[in-house]
Chain A
Amino acid sequence: MIDTIYIEKEINDSPKTIQILRKFKNARKISIDRYGEIFNRKNQNFRVQKIKPNLILARKHKGFVLPTPEGFGIGDQKNFYFSHMYNCIYDCSYCFLQGMYSSANYLIFVNFEDFKREIKGVMERNLGESITFFSGYDCDSVAMESVTNFINDFIPTFRGHDNALIELRTKSAQTRIFEKLEPISNCVIAYSLMPEELAGKLDKKAPSVSLRISAMKKLSAMGWKIGLRFDPLIYSDNWKIKYQSLFKEIYSEIKEESIHSVSLGSLRFPKTYFNKIFSYHRQEEVFSRLDINGGNLVSYDKDLESEMNTFCKNELLKYCNENKVFHCYS
């Protein structure tokens, strides 16, 4: 439950603010000028705040839709991302948001209409080209749906725009929202996955992998497209066997034709993020095999990285077509 909600004065009366506040009748509401006063200040600690994050409601003023970094894509000609929210209710040990933000508070930009207007603008400016819009770069797209109503609000924007795909990246096993909507062919519900044993240790507060697979199965049966995201691939003892059996389990539950795309990328961090994240999780096994590669990147050594990517890709090709498999390196 949320104890404290900071609200920018400017959006106090916005319909989305009112809708969200209705869900937290007992929370203390504190009026603020700009979200940065809370979210971006120095001398605050992500890990301490993560114990019980507060909520910030704000208005985004610019940069609603941005091009993705190079190496980020699932087959379309152009790739963009947008973030209606920063931070996440789950607490994965390797989550790069811990390195990126100094606050663990949940920040929701309530001016969804501006995001949607900009998305439509990008679609219009790129008619005749295939575009993917990624959501869930700075949060989990589905996990906070009961608060944000994000999916319900955004899916209609994509209905009928077949050249534009939206990816909703998640670890949530929640399916209710999708059950209420008519499936569209240009939405991919992309699940982040790893072997259950690793997820049990690392994906804290997130649903188990078997629950995620059950959700995928349910949604694919309803006609939603599913994405499989093995990013990050994580090294551990017997990693080959663990990933082999994970892939086998997934493809025994979900029909290949329901799977839109598969992407992989091994564990990697910008060095500055890594130092911060490692200071939060010093006892974590997962960080042991990492090293500085190429100056600013902390990752597995090149041989191990390439072995993991190649092995997993070859295993996946036993179940799916090569044109569905993508390698993330950004």
Chain B
Amino acid sequence: MSKIDRKNSVRWVIALMPEAIPIIRALRLIKISRNLSFPIYSDEVGEHWLTVSGLGQNNIAAATKCLFETSSADKTSIWINVGIAGSKTFNLGELVFIDKVTSNISGKSLYPYSIPNLKIENRSELITVNSPEREFGSDGVYDMEGFSFFEVTSKLSSIEIILILKIVSDGPGSDLSKIHKDKISTLIETKIPTLLRLLPTVFSISKNLKDQILLPKNFEDICKVRKFTFSQRVTLKKLLHQWHARKPSKNLLKNISVLKTSSRIIKFMEEELNRS
């Protein structure tokens, strides 16, 4: 597992190029020129990464793993699968948040987290099939990738930051594989503002996870130079959180470099924090 990165980190996994194009444009992503099994795009600061997997469960599983490794994702990275889907329940163009995904082959179901306050009205089960669906026997939406995407990503990241979002492109009788690529891009393009509006909510969940994992700044440096007991390490972590929140401009390492023991460091920090 790679080191946890403090900056926002989103990984988009998209099945088809026409679905990906509006997202690539909106986020100003650039193709990485490396010899990779799947095309991979990234923005300048390395916050948003995207791959185009091709249709089907095997492809999306392989592309997701490839993106994970190439982009040094960590367990606080947000994973999003956006794509078109068929449905007899929802109207053409509607965005649907997936909270249950069932494999048509195995009958197994997985349950993406129902992110609160996401402000998407439509929630549904997704049925992932291995060949284009024309009948849409069950309520909900149909695709060819969602199950594998969630199965793979839920081993890589915390499930609260894995999203499957589907935009309805066709209904009973039509053939998903025959939809014109411009129509696909338009369907996705229309929902880009909504997709971008969701991000702050998911960023805040990811930040919450990072805060739980990341040690406070300077913690390791300080523990390297002085020996702290278990109880003192607990106290030091707490004090460092308070210090960086309340005295971000004060150079802590310089101030404590003259202090010879762990107790003196803790005493100094407590006194300084009490003073402020």
Q: Which residues of A are at the interface with B, using a C-beta cutoff of 8 A?
A: 3-4, 6, 28, 30, 32-33, 37-38, 41, 43-45, 47-49, 51-52, 54, 278-280, 282-285, 287-292, 298
Query: Which one of B109, B113, B212, B238 contacts A47 once the chains associate, using CB atoms below 8 Å?
Result: B212
- With A3-B114, A33-B109 as known contacts, state yes or no: A45 contacts B209, CB within 8 Å: yes
* B242 contacts the other chain (CB 8 A): yes
Whether B159 pairs with A44 at a CB distance below 8 angstroms is yes
User: What is the CB-to-nearest-CB distance from B72 to chain A, in angstroms, rounded to a whole number?
Assistant: 18
Whether A45 pairs with B160 at a CB distance below 8 angstroms is yes
User: What is the CB-to-nearest-CB distance from B231 to chain A, in angstroms, rounded to a whole number?
Assistant: 4
Whether B158 pairs with A282 at a CB distance below 8 angstroms is no
User: What is the CB-to-nearest-CB distance from A250 to chain B, in angstroms, rounded to a whole number?
Assistant: 31
Chain A residue numbers with a CB within 8 Å of B237 are 278, 282
Whether A37 pairs with B242 at a CB distance below 8 angstroms is no
Quick one: which of B157, B211, B234, B241 has the most chain A CB within 10 A? B234
Question: Which residues of B in the span 119-170 have a Cβ within 8 Å of any Cβ on A?
Answer: 123, 125, 154-155, 157-160
Chain A residue numbers with a CB within 8 Å of B123 are 28
How many Å lie between the Cα of A288 and that of B212 in the bound state?
17
Whether A48 pairs with B158 at a CB distance below 8 angstroms is yes
Query: Which one of B99, B157, B159, B211 contacts A28 once the chains associate, using CB atoms below 8 Å?
Result: B99
Query: Which one of A44, A52, A280, A285 contacts B158 once the chains associate, using CB atoms below 8 Å?
Result: A44
User: What is the CB-to-nearest-CB distance from A270 to chain B, in angstroms, rounded to a whole number?
Assistant: 14
How many Å lie between the Cα of A44 and that of B75 in the bound state?
10
User: What is the CB-to-nearest-CB distance from B47 to chain A, in angstroms, rounded to a whole number?
Assistant: 20
User: What is the CB-to-nearest-CB distance from A148 to chain B, in angstroms, rounded to a whole number?
Assistant: 22
Closest to A28 in B: B123
How many Å lie between the Cα of A8 and that of B205 in the bound state?
28
Query: Which one of B111, B159, B235 contacts A43 once the chains associate, using CB atoms below 8 Å?
Result: B159
Chain A residue numbers with a CB within 8 Å of B211 are 282
User: What is the CB-to-nearest-CB distance from B1 to chain A, in angstroms, rounded to a whole number?
Assistant: 12
How many Å lie between the Cα of A288 and that of B232 in the bound state?
8
How many Å lie between the Cα of A285 and that of B113 in the bound state?
32
Whether A284 pairs with B238 at a CB distance below 8 angstroms is yes
Whether A45 pairs with B212 at a CB distance below 8 angstroms is yes
Chain B residue numbers with a CB within 8 Å of A289 are 231
Query: Which one of A6, A37, A283, A291 contacts B241 once the chains associate, using CB atoms below 8 Å?
Result: A283
Query: Which one of A37, A44, A45, A288 contacts B235 once the chains associate, using CB atoms below 8 Å?
Result: A288
How many Å lie between the Cα of A120 and that of B5 in the bound state?
55
Question: Which residues of B in the span 208-251 have a Cβ within 8 Å of any Cβ on A?
Answer: 208-209, 211-213, 216, 229-231, 234-235, 237-238, 241-242
- Between A and B, 23 residue pairs with Cβ closer than 8 Å are A3-B114, A3-B116, A4-B99, A4-B114, A28-B114, A30-B99, A37-B111, A44-B159, A45-B209, A47-B212, A48-B160, A49-B113, A51-B116, A282-B237, A282-B241, A283-B238, A283-B241, A284-B238, A285-B238, A287-B238, A289-B231, A290-B231, A290-B234
Chain B residue numbers with a CB within 8 Å of A33 are 109
Count A/B pairs, Cβ under 8 Å: 78
* B100 contacts the other chain (CB 8 A): yes
For the complex of A and B, the 4 pairs showing the least CB-CB separation, nearest first, are: A52-B116, A291-B231, A4-B114, A48-B160
Chain B residue numbers with a CB within 8 Å of A38 are 111
Quick one: which of A38, A43, A284 has the most chain B CB within 10 A? A43
How many Å lie between the Cα of A48 and that of B238 in the bound state?
20
How many Å lie between the Cα of A6 and that of B111 in the bound state?
10
- With A3-B116, A32-B111, A288-B238 as known contacts, state yes or no: A43 contacts B157, CB within 8 Å: yes
User: What is the CB-to-nearest-CB distance from A185 to chain B, in angstroms, rounded to a whole number?
Assistant: 44
User: What is the CB-to-nearest-CB distance from A72 to chain B, in angstroms, rounded to a whole number?
Assistant: 26
How many Å lie between the Cα of A33 and that of B208 in the bound state?
30
User: What is the CB-to-nearest-CB distance from A51 to chain B, in angstroms, rounded to a whole number?
Assistant: 6
How many Å lie between the Cα of A78 and that of B213 in the bound state?
42
- With A28-B114, A290-B231, A291-B229 as known contacts, state yes or no: A280 contacts B75, CB within 8 Å: no
Closest to B230 in A: A292
Chain A residue numbers with a CB within 8 Å of B99 are 4, 28, 30
Chain A residue numbers with a CB within 8 Å of B111 are 6, 30, 32, 37-38
How many Å lie between the Cα of A37 and that of B182 in the bound state?
39
- With A3-B116, A6-B111, A30-B99 as known contacts, state yes or no: A48 contacts B208, CB within 8 Å: yes
Chain A residue numbers with a CB within 8 Å of B205 are 48
Closest to A30 in B: B100
Chain A residue numbers with a CB within 8 Å of B242 are 283
Whether A287 pairs with B155 at a CB distance below 8 angstroms is no
User: What is the CB-to-nearest-CB distance from A212 to chain B, in angstroms, rounded to a whole number?
Assistant: 28
Chain A residue numbers with a CB within 8 Å of B216 are 282
Question: Which residues of B in the span 234-270 have a Cβ within 8 Å of any Cβ on A?
Answer: 234-235, 237-238, 241-242
Over the window 188-213 of chain B, the binary record of Cβ atoms lying under 8 Å from chain A Cβ atoms (1 yes, 0 no) is: 00000000000000000100110111
